[in-house]
Amino acid sequence: MMGDLKYGRTVHSLANALELFDNELTFISPPSLQMPGHILKELDDRKIRYLSISDLEEAGNRDLDILYVTRIQKERFGDPLEYKKVAGVYRITQETIKLLGKDIRVMHPLPRVDEIAEEVDSMPNAIYFTQAHNGIPTRQALLGLMTGGLD
């Protein structure tokens, strides 16, 4: 998971959901936007392996299957100067895909700003549009199950 891990609700719930699978999580973010301590404690309590790093280059040395990218949200910063320190620190390009390995798949909750270059959209690695499309029937099914509309 990469980007705004401090405020990103999607990465918080995804980190919790991934406890159902045998995996190791890699969190890539600037120091000021790292995964919150209470989430890390939950992962520790559940014996989920994870590594927190801030250098995208270091991620190239890891055996990553999926890169879940979130945008750094300007609206979360009270101080515009603090936002400018981290804005654009990570950007996924074709070169990034090469660095991380040709088989890596890139996901994103959308909408994106500039954290993924449009050149990545046509690569087989980009699965965020399919992810967004599949989210609709998934949410419909979950709501149906929760409300009793589906058996």
Predicted pLDDT of residue 57 = 86
Helices (H), 54-149: 56-59, 80-86, 94-100, 128-147
Instruction: Give the pTM.
Output: 0.90
Go through the domains of the chain in sequence order and give each one's CATH number: 9-147 (3.40.50.1370)
Tokens of residue 111, six digits: 């909408």
Q: Cα separation of 102 and 91, whole Å?
A: 17
64 against 19, higher pLDDT: 64
* Under 8 Å between Cβ of 115 and 91: yes
pLDDT tens by residue, 66-123: 999 999 988 888 888 888 889 888 999 999 999 999 899 999 999 999 999 999 999 9
pLDDT at 128: 98
**Predicted confidence band at 37 (pLDDT cuts at 50, 70, 90)?**
very high
Encoding tokens for residue 143?
A: 């709501």
pLDDT (tens digit per residue) in 15-32 = 999 988 888 999 999 999
Q: According to the model, what pLDDT value does residue 1 have?
A: 97
- Name the E strands within the chain: 24-28, 49-53, 66-68, 105-107
